[in-house]
Amino acid sequence: MTKRITLAAATAGHAEGGSSLNAFDNALLVAGIGNINLIKVSSIVPPDVTIIDLPKIRPGALIPTAYAAITSETPGETVAAAVGYALPDDPAKNGVIMEFHGVATQSEAERAIDAMLEEAFRVRGEAIREKKVFAAEHRVERIGCAVAAITLLAEEDLA
Amino acid sequence: MTKRITLAAATAGHAEGGSSLNAFDNALLVAGIGNINLIKVSSIVPPDVTIIDLPKIRPGALIPTAYAAITSETPGETVAAAVGYALPDDPAKNGVIMEFHGVATQSEAERAIDAMLEEAFRVRGEAIREKKVFAAEHRVERIGCAVAAITLLAEEDLA
Amino acid sequence: MTKRITLAAATAGHAEGGSSLNAFDNALLVAGIGNINLIKVSSIVPPDVTIIDLPKIRPGALIPTAYAAITSETPGETVAAAVGYALPDDPAKNGVIMEFHGVATQSEAERAIDAMLEEAFRVRGEAIREKKVFAAEHRVERIGCAVAAITLLAEEDLA
C-alpha cells in the first residue's frame, strides 16, 4: 500500500540568495518547506482531501507538491509566483491546482491563477465550491526568488 | 512496502486553451489523464510489466509518468509530442521509454522516437522484442498543446 | 506505509549520444543509473540516512533523485554537472543537496556546489559535519551530456 493523501496545505515565500539555487532554497525556507523533498506533480487535489494550514512536516519527507517558482538576477525586477486550487461541488470529484510564475506583480499572478481555475472547471463541467490563491512577489536586489506551493500530505508526513 | 508497478499504458492528446497551462490541462483531459497527478519519471519500463490500454485511473492518484509536452502560442505552427517504449527479448531486463517534443509533425516525432529507442537498445546490447510509439500533433489556433505519455501503474491506481 | 529512505548514494557520468536524450541516457548508463526511473526531488538528505557507494538498484525502480544534467550540441564545448551534499553536526537534522550544471569545467562546478552548500548551512544556523561533491565534465564531440546525481534509496530498492 502507498501512503494515502488526505491533506493539502498551501504556502508561499520569497527571498534573496547568493545564487539562484540558494535564493530558491531560501524562499522555500521562508515558506516553511525548505527541509523537505519536493516532488513536482501536475496538479490535482484528490477527492476527500482536507485543506489545512501548513503543518510541521517531517524533515526529508518526500512530498508531492504542485509549485511555481521564479528566480531572477535582474536587480529591480519584480517577479511573482502563485498557486491556487479549486474544489468541486461534488466531493467525489477531484479538485484542480494551477501554477503561475513570471515577471509580474502578485496581483497579476493571482488574477492569472483565477482565470486558469475558472477555465479548468468550465471544461470539466463542474461548479466551483471553494477557490483559493496563494502568491508571493519579490523585488530583486541581487538574486531573488518567489515560490508558491501546494503540498499533498499523508498523516505519516507530519512531524 | 511501496506500490508495485505491474502495468503501463500509453496515450496522447492535443488541445487549445486560454493559457499555456490550460492548453496542457485540456490536452491531458483529451488524452484521458487530466484528473490524475503526473509525477515525471525518466524513463524505464520495469521488467514484468504488462502493457495495457489506458484504464480508468483513480482521480488524484499519484502516477509515475514518462511524458513529453509542448505548448505554443504561435498561430499556424504545428507542434508534436511523442513517447515510445521498447521491450527487450529477455523478460528479466527492463524496457526503455523515450520522449520527444518540438515544432514538428507527428511523423517526424515518431521517427525521432524510433531512432532513440534503437540507439538505447544498441548501447544496452539488447534485442528489441516489441516497440511502439504514441504521438499527437497540434496545429495552433491561438494557444495549443500536444502531449504524449506512458503511465506506470499499480493495481491500486485503477478506478 | 511508504518506503523509508535509509540510504543515499551519489554518482556522476558523461557520454556522447545520437540525440540529446540518448546522450543523457548514455551518461546515466555510465553513471550506473541508466536502468532505473529517476524521480527528481528538490533536495534534502533525510536525517539518519547512511551514505553508501552506489549499489546495484533494481531495474525500473522508482528512485527519488536529486540530479543535475546538461546536454550540448556545440562541438568543442566543455559542460559540467555536479551535485553535493552536506550533513549537519546534529544527526536529528536533515542534510542538504545542491545541484549545478552549466558550460563550465568540473572544478568550476565543484566550487559552485561548495559555495551553495556553505550558504545553505549558514542560513539554517547549522554546522557542517561532512560535505562531499560529485561532478562530471564532458567535452562535446557532437552531442554530449554530463550528469551528476544523488539517489535516495530504501532497502527494497537494492537488487
- The separation between CA C78 and the C-alpha centre of its own chain, rounded to angstroms, equals 19
What integer pLDDT is reported at residue B130 of this predicted model? 97
- Where chain C has pLDDT below 70, the residues are 1-2
User: Taking CB atoms and an 8 Å limit, are B119 and C61 in contact across chains?
Assistant: no
C-chain residue closest to B43, CA distance: C37
Show which subunits contact A, needing at least 3 CB pairs below 8 angstroms: B, C
Distance CA(A74)–CA(A145), nearest Å, equals 11
C-chain residue closest to A58, CA distance: C46
What integer pLDDT is reported at residue B2 of this predicted model? 67
Residue C116, chain A, CB below 8 Å: the answer is yes
List CB contacts of B55: < 8 A, sequence separation 6 or more: B7, B9, B153, B158, B159
Distance CA(A42)–CA(C100), nearest Å, equals 24
C62 with B63: CB under 8 angstroms? no
What integer pLDDT is reported at residue C77 of this predicted model? 98
Q: What confidence tens digit (pLDDT) does each residue in A65-74 have?
A: 999 999 999 9
H/E segment holding residue B115 = helix B106-124
Complete DSSP assignment for B20-66: HHHHHHHHHHHHT-TTSEEEE-B-EE-TTPEE-----B-TT-EEEEE
B103 with B138: CB under 8 angstroms? no
The pTM of the full predicted model, rounded to 2 decimals, is 0.97
Distance CA(B78)–CA(B83), nearest Å, equals 17
> What is the amino acid identity at position B62?
L
What single-letter DSSP state applies at residue A109? Answer: H
Show which subunits contact B, needing at least 3 CB pairs below 8 angstroms: A, C
Task: Say if residue B45's pLDDT is above 50.
Answer: yes
- The three cell numbers of residue C120 are 545553505
Q: What confidence tens digit (pLDDT) does each residue in A95-142 have?
A: 999 999 999 999 999 999 999 999 999 999 999 999 999 999 999 999
B131 with B13: CB under 8 angstroms? no
List CB contacts of A8: < 8 A, sequence separation 6 or more: A45, A49, A50, A51, A52, A85, A150, A151, A152, A153
- The three cell numbers of residue A141 are 536586489
What single-letter DSSP state applies at residue B4? Answer: P
pLDDT class of A2 with cuts at 50, 70, 90: low
- The three cell numbers of residue A67 are 509549485
What integer pLDDT is reported at residue B29 of this predicted model? 98
- The three cell numbers of residue A159 are 512531524
Q: What confidence tens digit (pLDDT) does each residue in B96-141 have?
A: 999 999 999 999 999 999 999 999 999 999 999 999 999 999 999 9
Residues β-bridged to residue B98: B84
B70 with B102: CB under 8 angstroms? yes
Closest among B141, B89, B129, B131 to B110, alpha carbons compared: B131
List CB contacts of B4: < 8 A, sequence separation 6 or more: B154
Rounded-to-10 torsion of CA A84, B102, C31, C16: -160
pLDDT class of B79 with cuts at 50, 70, 90: very high
B-chain residue closest to A101, CA distance: B21
- The three cell numbers of residue C114 are 561548495
User: Taking CB atoms and an 8 Å limit, are C119 and A59 in contact across chains?
Assistant: no
Distance CA(A123)–CA(A120), nearest Å, equals 6
- Residue C114: phi and psi, rounded to 5, are -55, -45
**HSE, side-chain direction, 13 A CA sphere, residue C123:** 22
List CB contacts of B29: < 8 A, sequence separation 6 or more: A123, A124, B13, B15, B35
User: Taking CB atoms and an 8 Å limit, are B59 and A46 in contact across chains?
Assistant: yes
Distance CA(B80)–CA(B140), nearest Å, equals 11
What integer pLDDT is reported at residue A1 of this predicted model? 43
- How far are the Cα atoms of A11, A44, A82, A120, C110 from residue A135, in angstroms, in the given order? 8, 18, 4, 19, 34
Residue B45, chain C, CB below 8 Å: the answer is yes
Closest among C99, C102, C86, C24 to C49, alpha carbons compared: C86
List CB contacts of A132: < 8 A, sequence separation 6 or more: A10, A51, A84, A85
Active site residue A99: yes
Q: What confidence tens digit (pLDDT) does each residue in B129-159 have?
A: 999 999 999 999 999 999 999 999 999 999 9
Active site residue A22: no
B89 three-class SS:
coil
What is chain B's mean pLDDT, rounded?
97
pLDDT class of B3 with cuts at 50, 70, 90: confident
Closest-CA distance, C116 to chain B, in angstroms, reads: 26
User: Taking CB atoms and an 8 Å limit, are C19 and B124 in contact across chains?
Assistant: no
Cβ contacts of C30 on chain B, cutoff 8 Å: none
